[in-house]
Structure 1
């Protein structure tokens, strides 16, 4: 009787997983425990970040970029599914050829689905599939860049509000969902979409400060993740959903460091950012976890010549901690963004970071950011927006981009791509 019960339970679990797999359309990515799958076969990858792909005005340059990505073993690319401007910027955007999807002139944005708008994203999605690459598409940005949450806040609630009203003001939530519905419905049948991402790097604060309602333990972000992931799941029952978060923890045991005889509570562990990686990963409609590494920028007080603290060692701990959390939740995890300035810093840390991510069975490894040379639009030189520009045919470089002619770094990732591909062969 006891044996029969165990057998029945095993059979039921097997049936549920088989039913889930059979319901996923051909070519769509899904999860099986801590692994990704495509068409019933395990799928692990090295990917890339390229927010600027839909900002290119030349189809030939888009194609050339994907061709180089394919040559580097890239299987998944993360890009922005948002580009919004104020109405006052429209004339300049039309003149410069800037890609934009939303125009804000009042409390309601206007969609641009024309040739300078979503048709450019259409081409990126289409071309990705041509080269066997899938896309993670983020719906909005925690930061002001390319029209993130602050546009919603400023236009809908007016000046003087804190950043976190984005997550709680029902007018803002409704406006965000209207845009999400537009994007999801446009591509919900495409196998070229790997996953939807609720926001890039959601935090309690952004370019605006946090308010008193988004503090450690308030679960403001957790509640928002839950509501929005349920909203997307109702629209699209097949594509995966993730948060796009940086992987901040909310540990009850204090973590911090001493500086100048003062104990500093660590922002990455104390819940102040608003995330709770362990708790958020348990959400039913969050299919996998994401986290980022920017130790140089997060710990400027500790990162100085002669310090016994290093970005490399801290990054290794951060990678292991997220692998442990993913194992506990029995879900995949992606090292979704990581970057160091300085070539020597990259060559010192990246091999060990990537090696540990491979050993801890990360489903994906995605450096920030992919760089490509030889782009030809506007003679290879064009200011896009902010400081983002094509210079001598090179894609935008914030000091973190990795180009093919950086042979050592390029090989770190191409070799890792081979390891990922061989994991389940």
Structure 2
């Protein structure tokens, strides 16, 4: 279970009233978040090591929420399982923090969605079968339901996140028919966001995606981040009724290890372009957007680059 910790930075007067939700629940109003009818800005941090484990624990004290046996899983609600997540929410509430809870991970670290593939369709050679196989969809939804029903009355939950970094490929390769153009992942986002909303009418819902685009742009036709090959379509995915805000990530050195950044400008300039592109997309549909993860190395680059990235995010009313 990936957690994002969101800490209130300030509250200001608002001219509008938030939609009818229980007190303390975060809502949206156009491109901004609100808390009890007032603008809500935050500073966030990711806790990747709170991720769910889908495997049988082999270490004393290991935290895990699912144990897989053959083609099904058993929920762990005990002291090494959801009791610990209960405690996390209780402590967060004490400090007026809010959490984004992520239901699974595209990558196998700390479990991940490929364990559904390994156990339900062992021997499957492609990653994207997870998004279309009816048995996997039902299994994922059953897990989602247990979490949502456990915490849907908690104002400490900022939002539900469908998956961390959904792509057509993972540790397994992509199948030939998965792309943004085929709508494999967008259709999955639509299906799951509608399902989550049927369980919980009040909490926000988001994708957890990296923000890949599906642009018809001849200069970027070979670029994985823009040509739809990753499987997402940020502009389109953000239009879904039950996707309340967008997320995207920013790791230019990992994505362009040869240092050959399209559009020029090096890592910093490319990052500024990426931030502005997502701000523009979110503004078009009138929804907030969160720069959910970002990073460069070494530390000397961080002190040079981060201020300009963060400033542009602030100027375009991002969460971060």
TM-score after normalising by structure 2: 0.92
1:345-376 CA deviation, whole Å, 9 max, x = no partner? Answer: 111110000001001111x11xxxxxxxxxxx
Are the equivalent residues in 1 in contact too, given 2:246–2:282 (CA < 8 A)? yes
Pairing 1:33–2:3 present = no
SS at match of 2:284: helix
* Corresponding residue for residue 267 of structure 2: 311
CA distance in 2: counterparts of 1:215 and 1:29, whole angstroms:
33
Moved more, 38-47 or 168-177: 38-47
CA distance in 2: counterparts of 1:211 and 1:122, whole angstroms:
38
Matches within 5 A, 1:175-194: 175-194=139-158
Give 1:275's match in structure 2, choosing from 232, 236, 242. Answer: 232
* Corresponding residue for residue 41 of structure 2: 44
CA distance in 2: counterparts of 1:330 and 1:346, whole angstroms:
31
CA distance in 2: counterparts of 1:42 and 1:277, whole angstroms:
25
SS at match of 1:221: helix
Are the equivalent residues in 1 in contact too, given 2:23–2:155 (CA < 8 A)? yes
Pairing 1:339–2:295 present = yes
Matches within 5 A, 1:3-402: 21-52=18-49, 54=50, 80=51, 82-85=52-55, 87=56, 90=57, 92-93=58-59, 95=60, 97-256=61-220, 265-302=222-259, 309-362=265-318, 364-365=319-320
CA-based RMSD: 1.5
Are the equivalent residues in 2 in contact too, given 1:303–1:309 (CA < 8 A)? no
Aligned residues: 303
CA distance in 2: counterparts of 1:84 and 1:337, whole angstroms:
24
Deviation of the 1:83 alpha carbon: 2.4
Deviation of the 1:189 alpha carbon: 0.3
- In structure 1, stretches of 5+ residues that fail to align are 1-16, 55-79, 257-263, 366-425
1:163-217 CA deviation, whole Å, 9 max, x = no partner? Answer: 0000000000000001000110110000000000000000000110000221240
**Rg larger in structure:** 1
Are the equivalent residues in 1 in contact too, given 2:248–2:292 (CA < 8 A)? yes
CA distance in 2: counterparts of 1:215 and 1:340, whole angstroms:
28
Deviation of the 1:309 alpha carbon: 4.8
CA distance in 1: counterparts of 2:122 and 2:208, whole angstroms:
27
CA distance in 1: counterparts of 2:146 and 2:284, whole angstroms:
35
SS at match of 2:218: coil
CA distance in 2: counterparts of 1:355 and 1:340, whole angstroms:
16
* Corresponding residue for residue 372 of structure 1: none
The runs of at least 4 aligned residues of structure 1 exceeding 3 Å deviation read none
SS at match of 1:146: coil
SS at match of 1:84: coil
TM-score after normalising by structure 1: 0.69
CA distance in 2: counterparts of 1:127 and 1:51, whole angstroms:
18
* Corresponding residue for residue 7 of structure 2: none
1:228-282 CA deviation, whole Å, 9 max, x = no partner? Answer: 00000000000000000000000011343xxxxxxx8110000000000000000
* Corresponding residue for residue 423 of structure 1: none
Are the equivalent residues in 2 in contact too, given 1:254–1:270 (CA < 8 A)? no
- In structure 2, stretches of 5+ residues that fail to align are 1-15
1:130-188 CA deviation, whole Å, 9 max, x = no partner? Answer: 10110001000000011111100010011133100000000000000010001101100
Are the equivalent residues in 2 in contact too, given 1:296–1:303 (CA < 8 A)? no
